Structure 1
């Protein structure tokens, strides 16, 4: 419980309060999850109330959480307003995950995703690990280091500036302990010992908060995002999770899975006897309500699509020099592999050959090849020439610098 608050405070509901052992302000009395009809937080402690609060702002509160406070016993008042939409999967009365998938996604789409899964299993035979209850510290640190790297690459691919990095540093600070307490988990898809998809989750009772997920862009042809979601849904069923909260962000891939849409809200608690605090609170709510309505109107007018193109154009301008230094890869299929004296076998998963990884995976994916049955060679005389030899096909990769 947070006593003796400063006159003006601002908290992220999850990052500053919920994930810190549910250390809420003293006036929070009870929180109920309206989807699950379960009590998330309740205190019978008598707070050491101090009434020097002018404004206390708590933002990013899902409105399916019903928060009861004790401010009616004070001079404080509360106002709330919407920020943006959030998206969730509520399993309801479905007895199995397959029953949910058939109802929500449809049999045709489910069968298509099963084919994607079979292709992935054929090509690289990945392993899947949910770190929940235990994890080696050295692997924990390695996973976050890799998550930061692949997130940076993903933002580069999307031609957007990376806003996730500060949050990843914060998650790294808090999640190690929470995994052992079963309040958090990290789900990883591995290609051998290489993490190719990493997901950060927080868990509270029957709710999983799906907070951050990223795949290695060199494996983008395998539909890892969708397959990762299915793995999570099945894990939720097996472990008694009823609500899979996918958070904010109105993306097409989410729309295929979710069956609940809610609102994130901001709550302002203010001193009703302070003219300045009251005016500040009223001004803030008017601004945010107008903003919310304006954003909804602009989305209806498809303005967000034009804005997305502008963001990409702006990104390209600021990274023009890097784009000019890109190399060109020329792919030739069905070539004869040179004799042994002219080539040397390499491990394409080594860091020095990371530029080849996308093309090797693309070869595996398109030709239904297994990574255990292919060989990758480097030309001993021409450093920019590589060869892939599979059971069904061969390929030559020629790299030309721009």
Structure 2
């Protein structure tokens, strides 16, 4: 990757500021572009960014003879990274331990979004995407916002606050513990600077002026690399994640990007929209003339192989879900109650109902908006035209909600 954003001075220095205790990073002359910090206790060095980057590329300088007898670990190196191994010194040993599968959209052979769309997605997927996009844009007041280049601090603070809210909500719904929230101060500082340098892009899908999906990507010379994404699950039926991807691809064609890299992790949306797979490796480098470096390197390889074995068994997902449960012990559980949906063939008695705000009601019944939006997906019409009525009930009774519109007329009975 040319001009890799994760080996840029800005990314590495801000990362080290937030995550390294050592204010003086180490740079090895034979490894171009990368800064390192020493492990707190053990005799090896780790690349700046560690496992928080979305793909590190580097080169070996074959003109440098001194390997310093040290051991280095470089996380998340895509297998298309050429390290000039043919030019490596005979004392430099590089082990490559498989980690994650990666996916990218190679756009170089296509003339436009429509050209890529027609030749990459199957006809059934194309038809579903077009249908869902039409429903989404006809039901809601939709705006696509691109943050790229200089931005005022006021606008930035508001945008990042919305982004953080979406991330927290998304992982809470998944019931998975994420490090992203603890890492947010890093992203908050980094993204502002990277936007100024035009090395970052945020795509936001807004409904009535409020973001319902946001995604962060970083820019190389001709590559856009996805990093963080989150969306409001109330809009799940409308496949906003797929719509967001289409906007990224359109942007790539507008700005002459050859590659949209979806980075690590295997998900349905990636396999649908991409045309190239690759593998991330963890690189362990050692000076084979040094017994200490050689021994440390061998032990690290075994360690990363064990981690990958556990990852293949989904142990990391088990740990993330367990951490979420532990963190939320004793917290108030989401008020999800049983319900049923009833058809209304005739006009209901308005004297038994009162007009209410959906946003006010979801404070007590968070799942209510998702039900209304799912109904809207089945029978598309303008969301702004819907009316929500609540039954005037006794305190001991569960409420009924009547949803009405041009095409909608049904009851949601809370049980």
Partner of 1:395: 410
Aligned to 2:149: 133
Asked whether 1:331 is paired with 2:341, we answer yes
TM-score scaled by length of structure 1: 0.77
1:64 alignment counterpart: 80
Q: Could you tell me how far apart the structure 2 residues matched to 1:41 and 1:319 are? A: 41
Corresponding residue to 2:376 among 364, 387, 399: 364
When structure 1 is superposed on structure 2, of 167-176 and 74-83 the one drifting more is 74-83
Distance apart, 1:378 and its partner CA = 4.1
2:337 & 2:104 partners in 1: Cα distance? 41
Summarize the alignment of residues 64-103 of structure 1 with structure 2, pairs less than 5 Å apart.
64-68=80-84, 77-103=93-119
Tell me if structure 2 keeps the 8 A contact 1:55–1:268.
yes
Q: Equivalent residue of 2:203, what SS? A: strand
Asked if the contact 2:140–2:382 (Cα under 8 Å) also holds between the matched residues in 1, the reply is: yes
Question: Which residue pairs with 1:118 in the alignment?
Answer: 134
Segments of structure 2 that go 5 or more residues without pairing to the other structure are 14-26, 35-56
1:2-401 map, 5 Å: 17-18=7-8, 20=10, 25-29=28-32, 54-68=70-84, 77-289=93-305, 292=308, 294=309, 326-334=336-344, 336-339=347-350, 342-346=353-357, 348=359, 352=363, 355=366, 356-379=368-391, 384-400=399-415
Root mean square deviation, CA, Å: 4.0
1:160 deviation in Å?
2.7
How far apart in 1 are the matches of 2:394 and 2:233? Answer: 27
Instruction: Tell me by how many angstroms 1:127 deviates.
Output: 0.8
Aligned length: 370
Q: 1:215 to 1:25 in 2, by over 3 A?
A: farther
Report the CA distance shift for 1:220/1:283 in structure 2 as closer, same or farther (over 3 A): same
Q: TM-score, normalised by structure 2?
A: 0.74
Q: Could you say if the C-alpha distance between residues 62 and 41 of structure 1 is closer, same or farther in structure 2, counting changes exceeding 3 Å?
A: closer
In the superposition, relative to structure 1, how do residues 369 and 353 fare at CA in structure 2: closer, same or farther (>3 Å)? farther
Q: Is the 8 A contact 2:71 2:286 kept in 1?
A: yes
Q: Cα–Cα, structure 1 residues 139 and 338, in superposed 2: closer, same or farther, change >3 Å? A: farther
- In 2, the alpha carbon distance for the partners of 1:260 and 1:169 equals 33
Compared CA separation, residues 313 and 60, structure 1 to 2 (3 A): closer
CA–CA separation in structure 2 for the residues paired with 1:388 and 1:25: 65
The answer on whether the counterparts of 2:166 and 2:230 sit within 8 Å (CA) in structure 1 is yes
Offset of residue 382 of structure 1: 5.8
Q: 1:328 to 1:147 in 2, by over 3 A?
A: farther
8 A Cα contact 1:150 1:217, kept in partner: no
In structure 1, distance between residues paired with 2:132 and 2:360: 22
Q: Deviations over 1:333-377 (max 9, x none)?
A: 327454379513426389847823212312322221211222233
2: CA distance, partners of 1:324 / 1:222: 23
Match of 2:201, SS state, is strand
Residues in 2 aligned to 1:250 and 1:323: alpha-carbon distance in whole angstroms: 30
Give the CA deviation at 1:198: 0.5
Comparing 334-343 with 98-107, greater Cα deviation is found at 334-343
